[in-house]
């Protein structure tokens, strides 16, 4: 049976390192050149990239560990995809985790509050540049992670990291479709400004509205029924 078609993939020499393969596959995933649910077949990637099958297998393991791909028995590896129920559950989880960070703002270490401000700056810079979808998504999630980090809890951060890994590709697709960087920048600047103001109730309300809107955008981008269970 013929291998599934892949987009052009390019490795800079030498072309035999796992890091370079992961970097190129990650780029193609965040650019939307390889879409959710696509099988990542070892032989097809070996042929496309001119490397050994064992090297491809190791690179795929990295993508699985990052949450960008899923390995299933008898099915191999495929790009992570979300169902509508998972999107709703992710938003519920994010509201709980990030709300805990909001409530911790007043008592958080100065360094933790400074990291939120720095994360906002990094996201604004990436969104304005807009030439690297992976970087925009990474800085976007890093800002929300910094909010969770205000709790000072490594366990809550671990939960947040697992959730963010699950939605990275879906969020990247949303960011590509929106093409509204100024609005996204304004939304996140407003959220951090509310944090800085100390108005916890207003910040929590803005956060919930922001995350619910993000869920709607993901469902639209993934062409999922918002009422599906």
Q: With both helix axes pointing from N to C terminus, report the angle between 42-49 and 53-65 in degrees, rounded to the nearest 10.
A: 110
Distances (CA, A) of 211 to 94, 132, 177, 205: 8, 23, 17, 10
In the DSSP assignment, the letter for residue 189 is H
The two structure tokens encoding residue 57: 């297998």
Contact 214, 171 (CB under 8 A): yes
Distance CA 42, CA 60 (A): 8
How distant, in Å, are the alpha carbons of 108, 180, 214, 218 from that of 119?
16, 19, 19, 22
pTM of the model: 0.77
Give tens-digit pLDDT for 81-114.
888 888 889 999 999 999 999 999 999 999 999 9
pLDDT (tens digit, 9 = 90+) per residue, 157-177?
Answer: 999 998 998 888 888 887 777
Using alpha carbons, select from 68, 13, 9 the residue that is nearest to residue 37: 68
The angle that helices 84-104 and 154-178 make with each other, rounded to 10 degrees, is 120
Contact yes or no for 189/205 (Cβ under 8 A): no
Cross-strand partners of 79:
69
pLDDT tens, the chain, 229 aa long = 444 566 766 555 544 478 889 989 988 888 888 888 899 999 999 998 888 899 999 999 999 998 889 999 888 999 988 888 888 899 999 999 999 999 999 999 999 999 999 999 999 999 999 767 788 889 999 999 999 999 999 999 999 998 998 888 888 887 777 667 888 899 999 999 999 999 999 999 999 999 999 888 888 877 766 665 5
Q: What is the structure's pLDDT at 29?
A: 87
Rounded to whole angstroms, the Cα distance separating 216 from 206 reads 15
129: left (phi over 0), alpha (psi -120 to 50) or beta: alpha
Go through the domains of the chain in sequence order and give each one's CATH number: 18-79 (1.10.10.10), 84-221 (1.20.120.530)
pLDDT of 74 reads: 82
Per-residue model confidence (pLDDT) at position 135: 87
pLDDT of residue 14: 47
**CA angle centred on 122, ends 97 and 217, rounded to 5°:** 55
Q: How far is CA 102 from CA 67, 146, 193, in A?
A: 26, 10, 12
The answer to whether the CB of 139 falls within 8 A of the CB of 164 is no
Spell 171-193 as b/e; 16+ CB within 10 A means b. Answer: bbbbbbeeeebeebbeebeebbe
Model pLDDT, residue 189: 97
């Amino acid at each position: 049976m013929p291998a599934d078609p892949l987009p052009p993939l390019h490795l800079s020499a030498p072309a035999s390192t796992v890091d370079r393969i992961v970097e190129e596959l990650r780029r193609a995933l965040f650019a939307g050149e390889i879409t959710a649910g696509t099988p990542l077949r070892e032989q097809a990637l070996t042929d496309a990239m001119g490397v050994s099958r064992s090297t491809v297998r190791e690179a795929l393991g990295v993508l699985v560990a990052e949450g960008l791909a899923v390995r299933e028995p008898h099915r191999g590896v495929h790009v992570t995809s979300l169902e509508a129920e998972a999107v709703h559950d992710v938003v519920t989880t994010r509201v709980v985790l990030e709300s805990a960070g909001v409530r911790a703002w007043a008592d958080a270490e100065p360094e933790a509050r400074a990291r939120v401000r720095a994360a906002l700056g990094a996201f604004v810079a990436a969104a304005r540049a807009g030439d690297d979808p992976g970087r925009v998504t990474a800085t976007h999630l890093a800002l929300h992670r910094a909010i969770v980090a205000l709790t000072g809890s490594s366990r809550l951060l671990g939960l947040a990291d697992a959730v963010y890994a699950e939605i990275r590709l879906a969020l990247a697709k949303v960011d590509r479709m929106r093409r509204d960087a100024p609005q996204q920048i304004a939304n996140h600047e407003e959220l951090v400004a509310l944090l800085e103001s100390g108005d916890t109730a207003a910040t929590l309300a803005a956060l919930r509205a922001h995350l619910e809107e993000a869920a709607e955008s993901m469902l639209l981008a993934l062409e999922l029924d918002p009422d599906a269970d």
